[in-house]
Structure 1
């Protein structure tokens, strides 16, 4: 693979940069830069801007309204968006559910749901994890019983990210309690306005409301909202998770984060010299940059294969493990570079009432990002589980 951009790709990068310079709202960019929690309106605004430009769905085939970009163009777009501090596009509909519908959904489902994902009319959340069924997802207990032309759903989902904003949820439900765990699961699309659904907030340590519990009590779901075949949902769930895990790798976020750490380390002094000149810190910084460069190349290869119709296999697990480790290492380096200003409540612990001691540029979101991103190695299938998948596949066992 040629790692140098062609003339056409360099021209595309300039086009993306000009778009971000003129169309990315400055207040949104600043909110992302300092780590401020974005509202639903913030996300919707950026969604509409990208949709209006035709750049909302880089991974979709152009037949469904996608951009028609190749792997390198998608990589450039992600890289430039992260560098410009653009909001992350909410992935649940666009990059998680959509590939499942495009491959396994009916024509009716594709024609109905895909345009509404693009327009923003449907905001999706994910109903996978349950209490006692996180990394061991196949042990889920939410039941769906067929009753005529409906399924009746009862159970609970947890860690439902941004579920407080969603009007639809895609759920894994158990439709055959007597089958082997993976063989008795189905994939349902559920309107969140259906009677019997309750969303309860889970407030995180930093006081933010990002995740939720979702309860189902005798929720009636039309049978036509079943994706694919009954009891085949585990196949669709694994397909979705390969796309989620590749996305979790977050190459663009890590590249932007690494540049931010370098800027911060040049500002912060350690024993009379910039921290970036400290041998131990510089060695850690160099190692994570080498790892990131290698992962970016691997990510390009996997995206290119996906563009040719190949679903990511264990490569997505490899990217998920390495990508989350890199992002957490960058978060830790930022925390160390910020020093006392990385305390969770730096304004009280360090600054007090003295505005002359304002935090250095780049330290505003360090603590929040460090603590929030501890979850990266857990969600989407914990890194320990991913290593088991890689080992089984590499040794010839069943993944």
Structure 2
């Protein structure tokens, strides 16, 4: 594929920049830039702005509300929104469930759920991981037993991101124990307001409640909420994960963070000279930039394949590995640049309305929080060790 921007691409870039200058609230971009926690209202506000412009579901087919953008246009949009510090759209409904419904769901499911994802009526979360079933997802134990027109669901999910806000959860459940573990899994859509569901928050190092445990006790789910065929959920789960892993890579965000890191390295002094002139630090910075350029090309290839209707397996795993490692390297280099200012950690400083004095330069406020929080990047969505196994099997046939 051609990686050069055409005149049309450049014109589109200017259109995106103009839109962001006019429509992205400064209050939101300031919160993203300084690493403050975003509220549900913040995320819903930006979701609504993009939906009003018709740019929210830029990877969906046009007939379901997509934009019809080219791969380059999608890449430009992701990059520019990161540069302008726009909030990242919550991906669960828009970028994870929706592609599964469009490919495997019924016409009725698409007509009901997709418009509600677009207009923000339904906030979705993901019910995949369980205690003892994270990267080894096929070992999940949450059970759904069919009784007439309903499934009765019992079990537990964990690390459910933003589940405290969710109206619905798309859930992997076990509907059969016969044959291989992967063959007895189904894909259910469950209303979080159903009797028998309990959500317990998990407090993270930065003081935020980003993830949760979700318990199901005799939860009744209509059979019409089954996506695709019973016991075929593993196929749909793998398809969804290719989108999740591509999203986790966060190429546009890493490009913006690298530019910020380079500015910090040029202005932060160590031993009477800029940190960027320290040979060891400069070498790590240079390698990081090379790795990111390579990942950018891989990202475009994966987007191109996905746009053609394919679900890249090995490629999305490669992107997930490199993307998370690059993000963690950026966090580490930023932490080293902050020096002693990365050591103190004041959770209140990440909340809106904090009136205390900053400990150091403004850019250093969220450094410790981001460093520790992003250690999870190489684990969720399938650990990087598992991704290497997937690549081995897909490429080498082992």
Aligned-partner Cα distance in 2 for 1:369–1:94: 25
1:72 aligns with 2:68: no
Match of 1:324 in 2: 324
Match of 1:275 in 2: 275
Aligned-partner Cα distance in 2 for 1:213–1:263: 40
Which residues of 2 match residues 170-181 of structure 1 at below 5 A? 170-181=170-181
Give the number of equivalent residue pairs: 392
Match of 2:310 in 1: 310
The 3-state SS of whatever aligns with 1:178 is coil
Deviation sequence 1:205-229 (CA, Å, 0-9, x none): 2211000000000000000000000
The 3-state SS of whatever aligns with 1:30 is helix
Aligned-partner Cα distance in 1 for 2:82–2:181: 40
The offset of 1:375, in angstroms, is 0.4
The offset of 1:246, in angstroms, is 1.1
Deviation sequence 1:316-352 (CA, Å, 0-9, x none): 000000110111101111011111111142799xxxx
The 3-state SS of whatever aligns with 2:364 is coil
Which residues of 2 match residues 86-235 of structure 1 at below 5 A? 86-235=86-235
The offset of 1:387, in angstroms, is 0.3
1:85 aligns with 2:85: yes
The 3-state SS of whatever aligns with 1:214 is strand
Aligned-partner Cα distance in 1 for 2:2–2:217: 55
Structure 2 spans left out of the alignment, 5+ residues: 349-355
TM-score by length of 1: 0.96
Query: Alignment RMSD, CA only?
Result: 1.5
Match of 1:265 in 2: 265
Aligned structure 1 segments of 4 or more residues deviating by more than 2 angstroms: 1-4
Say whether the 8 Å CA contact 2:345–2:369 is kept in structure 1: no
The 3-state SS of whatever aligns with 2:210 is strand
Which residues of 2 match residues 245-264 of structure 1 at below 5 A? 245-264=245-264
Match of 2:370 in 1: 369
Match of 1:31 in 2: 31
The offset of 1:278, in angstroms, is 1.0
Say whether the 8 Å CA contact 2:105–2:227 is kept in structure 1: yes
Structure 1 spans left out of the alignment, 5+ residues: 349-353
TM-score by length of 2: 0.96
Say whether the 8 Å CA contact 1:188–1:227 is kept in structure 2: yes
Say whether the 8 Å CA contact 2:79–2:255 is kept in structure 1: yes
Say whether the 8 Å CA contact 1:243–1:312 is kept in structure 2: no
Deviation sequence 1:188-245 (CA, Å, 0-9, x none): 0000011000100001122110000000000000000000000000000000001111
